Amino acid sequence: MNTLTRNVECEHTEHGPARGLSRWFFTTNHKDIGTLYLWFSFLMFLTGGCMALMIRAELFQPGLQLIQPDFFNQMTTMHGLIMVFGAVMPAFVGLANWMLPLMVGAPDMALPRMNNWSFWILPFAFAMMISTLFMEGGGPNFGWTFYAPLSTTYAPPSVTFFIFAVHMMGISSIMGAINVIATILNMRAPGMTMMKLPLFVWTWLITAFLLIAVMPVLAGVVTMMLMDIHFGTSFFNAAGGGDPVLFQHIFWFFGHPEVYIMILPAFGIVSEIIPTFARKRLFGYASMVYATASIAFLSFIVWAHHMFTVGLPLMGEIFFMFATMLIAVPTGVKVFNWIATMFRGSMTFETPMLFSLAFVVLFTIGGFSGLMLAIAPADFQYHDTYFVVAHFHYVLVPGAVFAIMAGVYYWLPKWTGNYYNETLGKWHFWCSFIGVNLTFFPMHFIGLAGMPRRIPDYALQFADFNMVASIGAFIFGFSQLIFLVLVIKTIRGGDRAPAQVWDQPQGLEWTVPSPAPYHTFAEPPEVK
């Protein structure tokens, strides 16, 4: 072993990638697995995107034109499930796989075989979930939040397959998260103390903790559904002493931390990129770490802000309202730090930076609308309207998805050894930016005006804004093809990137050559 681990630069070939397809099926290499996750996530992004476009096409005009209401409901359900569990989460795991070992100076993830298993469960799980669309009675049509009794008493038979698919996704996520935690806690190079960890690593550490804490709760709630549907229990049936609201409590105990699972790694990515392109150190590193930890803690005690209108006791409404508002404090700390990092920096605006800047601005808009929703009496008005749809799409699309894009642009030269085409990247950014805002900004207004969500038809007064939103959605959707072309072109060639890629970026990942060799840090680097 020793002889072939001497130096990353004179890598031995006997440990290079295997030839052919078997490389991807049997690999234990964190870079291969990261690549698999990222491509899978992109495929799911396009699949879920097509469903969104079907929704938006139907909503282009009032009235029913293209699809039946029940199919419309299946589309909203599948779109949400695929984007959350198939696109955003796997993309972050893919980035973690690629970058965490490089950032902490580890030879690979802590448990490489389990790492492969975490990935390969996913295609099967999603094949099973998507296949429900073709089953008798149609696919799940009860929304991505699958509230009982819609998802129990009134569910199509395919719900059983949905339940098992969710179980598989949960197994995959938990194993992935265990791997991340073990890697960060145990595989750091000597001298890489906790408070020297790059923020992407920190945010992933906390995300992994959240995943391990709440994915089992999701498994629990779908198991209760299964038992209610097929084995006569009455968890969510008041006739037997249970309570449909119990479903919502358990679901959102999972669900709220879940939305932070989808944003904390995004915070990490942006905190890597902004200092590089502002050419300044990150402002307030320690406060970033503590803010992330506080957000994670708070995310466990705010879940009922999704349930203000179900008839909670008054004390409950008040507690969850104030606890939710508290989250704005650490979130504000983060936004402040990003802006302070840029203050008087020598900024340049390459594509990763553009996406990061858009992230900061647009995510903040989503945070503010969240704050509006957190006001319990006001939420009685907003709940289940398009205002909520606008809120969570602002935090998830120009939030999580833009951060993922930013991360891909930022590290693509490290992965492929080539620079991407900056002109194409800018085109991709501006089309996405315009598309996203056209799609989701009008939703604030139609929501406030009272248009309910998850409805295939609407009253005439909402027509104009809906048309704008649909046009925006198609712009956003098709501009992702620019991204696809760009990535393929970059893999095939382009200007050669040096090890540092950008102007003096910080972090161990920039000390290995570009493209990063198949095996890196077989001997741990010294971190001073």
Partner 1 sequence: MSQSAYYVPAQSRWPIYASVALFLMAYGAAHLINGLADQGGGLGLSLLLAGTFCMAMILIGWFGNVISESRGGLYNAQMDRSFRWGMSWFIFSEIMFFAAFFGALFYVRTLAVPWLGGEGEKGVSQLLWPGFEAQWPLLTTPDMKQFPGSDGVINPWHLPLLNTAILVTSSFTLTFAHHALKLDNRPRTILWLGTTILLGVVFLLFQLSEYVEAYQELGLTLNSGIYGATFFMLTGFHGLHVTLGTLMLIIIWLRVLSGHFSPKHHFGFEATAWYWHFVDVVWIGLFIFVYVF
233 is a site residue for partner 1 (CB under 8 A): yes
Q: How far apart are CB 238 and partner 1 at their closest, in Å?
A: 6
List the one residue from 399, 413, 435, 456 that touches ligand HEM (CB under 6 A).
399
Out of Cu ion, ligand HEM, partner 1, none, what residue 391 binds, judged by CB under 5 to 8 A for its kind, is: ligand HEM
Contact between 193 and partner 1 (CB under 8 A)? no
Main-chain phi, psi angles of 452, to 5 degrees: -75, 155
**Which among 18-26, 172-180, 368-376, 424-432 is the span making contact with ligand HEM, rule CB under 6 A?**
368-376
Tell me the residue number closest to ligand HEM, measured at CB.
370
Told to judge if 230 belongs to the known catalytic residues of this protein, a careful annotator would answer: no
| Contacts (CB under 5 A) with Cu ion, residues 255-274 | 256
E strands in 163-210: none
**Known catalytic residue at 271:** yes
How many Å apart are CA 178 and CA 114, to the nearest integer?
Answer: 10
> Given candidates 306, 414, 444, 519, which one binds ligand HEM under the rule CB under 6 A?
306
Active-site residue among 37, 260, 386, 409? Answer: 260
Instruction: Compute CA distances 450 → 27, 287, 440, 458, whole Å.
Output: 51, 40, 16, 10
Q: How far is the CB of 521 from partner 1 (least distance, A)?
A: 10
Using the rule CB under 8 A, which residue among 75, 96, 224, 262 binds partner 1? 224
The correct pick among 89, 95, 263, 431 for binding ligand HEM (CB under 6 A) is 263
Find, among 284, 250, 48, the residue nearest to 145 by Cα: 250
With H, G, I as helix, E, B as strand and everything else as coil, classify residue 452.
strand
SS3 253: helix
Q: How crowded is the C-beta side of 508, counted as CA atoms within 13 Å?
A: 28
- The amino acid occupying position 95 is L
Q: Which of 419, 428, 442 is nearest to 355 (CA)?
A: 428
Instruction: Please work out the total of residues on this chain that contact ligand HEM, with binding judged by CB under 6 A.
Output: 25
Q: Which one of the spans 366-374, 381-389, 406-414, 519-527 is the region binding partner 1 (CB under 8 A)? A: 519-527
**Residue 395: which of partner 1, ligand HEM, Cu ion, none does it interact with, CB under 5 to 8 A by kind?**
ligand HEM
DSSP-assigned states of every residue in 47-60: HHHHHHHHHHHHTT
Instruction: Let me know the angle formed at the C-alpha of 474 by 473 and 477, rounded to the nearest 5 degrees.
Output: 85
Whichever of 59 and 148 has its CB closer to partner 1, that residue is 148
Binding map of partner 1 across residues 27-56, x = CB under 8 A, - = no contact = xx----------------------------
Nearest to 272 by CA among 336, 340, 203: 203
Burial (Cβ within 10 Å: 0-12, 13-18, ≥19) of residue 202: buried
**Is residue 383 close enough to count as binding Cu ion by CB under 5 A?**
no
Q: 32, 58, 108, 317: which one is catalytic?
A: 108
Residues 280-309 interacting with partner 1 (rule: CB under 8 A): none
Single-letter amino acid code for the residue at 402? F
Does residue 250 belong to the site contacting partner 1 (CB under 8 A)? Answer: yes
> Considering the rule CB under 8 A, would residue 196 count as an interface residue with partner 1?
no
Torsion of CA 213, 216, 222, 226, to 10 degrees: -150
| Three-state secondary-structure class, residue 390 | helix
- Tell me the DSSP string of 71-106: HHHHHHHHHHHIIIIIIIHHHHHHHHHHHHHHHHT-
Segment contacting ligand HEM (CB under 6 A): 257-265, 337-345, 421-429, 502-510?
A: 257-265
Dist CA 472 CA 433 (whole Å)? 10
Comparing CB distances to partner 1, the nearer of 253 and 410 is: 253
Both tokens of 55, joined, read 């929704």
Of the two residues 12 and 496, which places its CB atom closer to partner 1 in the complex?
Answer: 12
Give the CA distances from residue 516 to residues 104, 416, 426, 470, 512, in Å, rounded to whole numbers and listed in that order: 15, 8, 25, 41, 6
Q: What 3-state class would DSSP assign to 498?
A: coil
Q: Which is nearer to ligand HEM, 254 or 392 (CB)?
A: 392
CA separation for the pair 383, 394 (Å, rounded): 16
Choice between 256 and 414, CB closer to Cu ion: 256
Part in contact with partner 1 (CB under 8 A); list of ranges 115-123, 271-279, 289-297, 467-475? 115-123
Q: Is 167 a catalytic residue?
A: no
Show the CA angle centred on residue 495, arms to residues 428 and 45, nearest 5°.
30
392 binding partner (options partner 1, ligand HEM, Cu ion, none; Cβ < 5 to 8 Å by kind) = ligand HEM
Which residue in the set 65, 68, 153, 186 belongs to the binding site for partner 1 (CB under 8 A)? Answer: 186
Catalytic residue among 249, 280, 426, 453: 453
Query: Exactly one of 71, 117, 427, 445 binds partner 1 (CB under 8 A); which one?
Result: 117
Is 379 part of the annotated catalytic residue set? no
Annotated catalytic residue, options 11, 58, 228, 258? 258
**Cα 121 to Cα 116: distance, rounded to the nearest angstrom:** 9
**End-to-end CA separation in angstroms for the chain:** 26
The site for ligand HEM (CB under 6 A) is made up of 145, 259, 262-263, 305-306, 324, 327-328, 331, 367, 370-371, 373-374, 379, 382-383, 388, 391-392, 395-396, 399-400
The site for Cu ion (CB under 5 A) is made up of 256
| Residues labelled catalytic | 79, 108, 144, 172-173, 256, 258, 260, 271, 305-306, 331, 334, 453
